[in-house]
């Protein structure tokens, strides 16, 4: 990993700092944006690739569906090229019917894990109704969507894996900048991934909202993230994130950004440097 420059600015400074970044990145190459949408307890991650392809990873819980739709429209995005559904838990697919109804989705990459819930039925019925092409993720294959990026599937569903263990996990590389998106995978999958791949990364979307099921110190020491991204709501009933995971992240000296503290978190990168723009300042919560 190269030495990187990080700027942390509050939302009031966005307008001042955003322009110079746009100019710099226009010179050295195209820009990728990664948005951690604040959906409360759950995941929804919007990616605009350097060649303007749009990826949405998960859609948060049911009540966040409108938030996700509004957020995407605010970015002036009207088509999702690829929707990636990591696994069929409510905090990842609950908001997706609302997304599918309101924003054109060209294709879906699903874990292939079936879940006998009303939430899952609503998700799958909406896809059938709209006849959106769906493929099932296979581990150790690549998603060809943008020639500027390498998008590798690190983990996918296999028989005898539960919902979380079946999560689609991704490594997205844009030149020098590497992102790991782990869905809700558990320690065993993290270990397998780290045995099979070079997984040091600049950004780690921490698995399973910082639950004790995931984020072993051994794994985090191999990833060596500069920035750890956590998705949870302040008042969740699961105790996410657990103290041990925060301690493990601190031992790896990662900067921690959570949607619970910072709201929506946006990362802009030109493949060399990055800029992190949180919606809120931690002081807002005091």
CB of 89 to Zn ion, least distance (A): 5
Q: Give the contact letters, 80-99, x = binds to Zn ion (CB under 5 A), - = no.
A: -----------x--------
Beta carbon nearer to Zn ion, 112 or 183:
183
User: Which residues, numbered 31-90, are part of the site for Zn ion (CB under 5 A)?
Assistant: none
Q: Which is nearer to Zn ion, 50 or 112 (CB)?
A: 112
Name which position in 184, 186, 190, 279 contacts Zn ion (CB under 5 A). Answer: 184
Decide: is 190 part of the binding site for Zn ion (CB under 5 A): no
Helix/strand/coil for 230: strand
Q: Which is nearer to Zn ion, 98 or 184 (CB)?
A: 184
Residue 147 C-beta: closest distance to Zn ion, Å = 31
Cβ atoms of residues 89 and 115 within 8 Å: yes
Q: Rounded to whole angstroms, how far apart are CA atoms 106 and 239?
A: 36
Q: Residue 280 CB, nearest distance to Zn ion (Å)?
A: 22
Segment contacting Zn ion by CB under 5 A, of 128-136, 149-157, 182-190, 260-268: 182-190
Residue closest to 55 by CA, chosen among 39, 34, 25, 38:
34
Please count the residues of this chain forming the interface with Zn ion, following the rule CB under 5 A.
2
Quick one: 39 or 47, whose CB is closer to Zn ion? 39
Q: How far is the CB of 272 from Zn ion (least distance, A)?
A: 32
Comparison of 164 and 270: residue with beta carbon closer to Zn ion:
164
Pick the closer one to Zn ion by CB: 89 or 268: 89
**Smaller CB distance to Zn ion: residue 81 or 91?**
91
* Choices 59-67, 74-82, 181-189, 211-219; region in contact with Zn ion by CB under 5 A: 181-189
Task: Find the part of the chain contacting Zn ion (CB under 5 A) among 61-69, 93-101, 145-153, 177-185.
Answer: 177-185
Length of the chain: 286
Which span sits near Zn ion by CB under 5 A: 178-186, 247-255, 262-270, 271-279?
A: 178-186
Comparing CB distances to Zn ion, the nearer of 98 and 226 is: 98
Question: No. of H helices and E strands in the chain?
Answer: 9, 14
The C-alpha angle with vertex 216 and arms to 214 and 218, in degrees rounded to 5, equals 145
* Count of CB atoms situated within 10 Å of the CB of 237: 7
Determine contact, residues 69/102, Cβ cutoff 8 Å: yes
* Contact positions vs Zn ion (CB under 5 A): 91, 184
């Amino acid at each position: 990993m190269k030495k990187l420059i990080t700027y942390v600015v509050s939302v009031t400074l966005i307008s001042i700092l955003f322009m110079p970044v746009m100019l710099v990145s226009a010179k050295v190459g195209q820009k990728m944006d990664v948005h951690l949408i604040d959906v409360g307890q759950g995941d929804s991650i919007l990616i605009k690739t350097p060649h303007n392809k749009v990826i949405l990873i998960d859609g948060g819980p049911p009540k966040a569906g409108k938030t996700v739709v509004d957020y995407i429209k605010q970015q002036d995005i009207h088509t999702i090229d690829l929707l990636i559904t990591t696994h069929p838990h409510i905090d990842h697919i609950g908001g997706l019917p609302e997304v599918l109804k309101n924003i054109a989705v060209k294709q879906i990459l699903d874990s292939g894990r079936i879940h006998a819930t009303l939430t899952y039925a609503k998700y799958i019925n909406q896809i059938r109704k709209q006849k959106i092409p769906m493929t099932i993720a296979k581990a150790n294959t690549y998603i060809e969507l943008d020639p500027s990026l390498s998008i590798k599937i690190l983990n996918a569903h296999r028989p005898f894996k539960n919902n979380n263990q079946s999560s689609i996990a991704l490594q997205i590389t844009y030149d020098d900048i590497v992102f790991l998106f782990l869905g809700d995978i558990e320690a065993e999958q993290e270990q397998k991934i780290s045995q099979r791949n070079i997984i040091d990364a600049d950004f780690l979307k921490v698995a399973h909202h910082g639950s004790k099921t995931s984020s072993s110190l051994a794994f985090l020491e191999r990833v060596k993230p500069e920035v750890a991204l956590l998705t949870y709501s302040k008042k969740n009933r699961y105790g996410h994130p657990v103290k041990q995971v925060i301690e493990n992240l601190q031992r790896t000296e990662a900067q921690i950004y959570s949607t619970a503290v910072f709201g929506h978190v946006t990362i802009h990168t030109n493949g060399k440097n990055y800029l992190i723009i949180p919606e809120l300042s931690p002081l807002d919560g005091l």
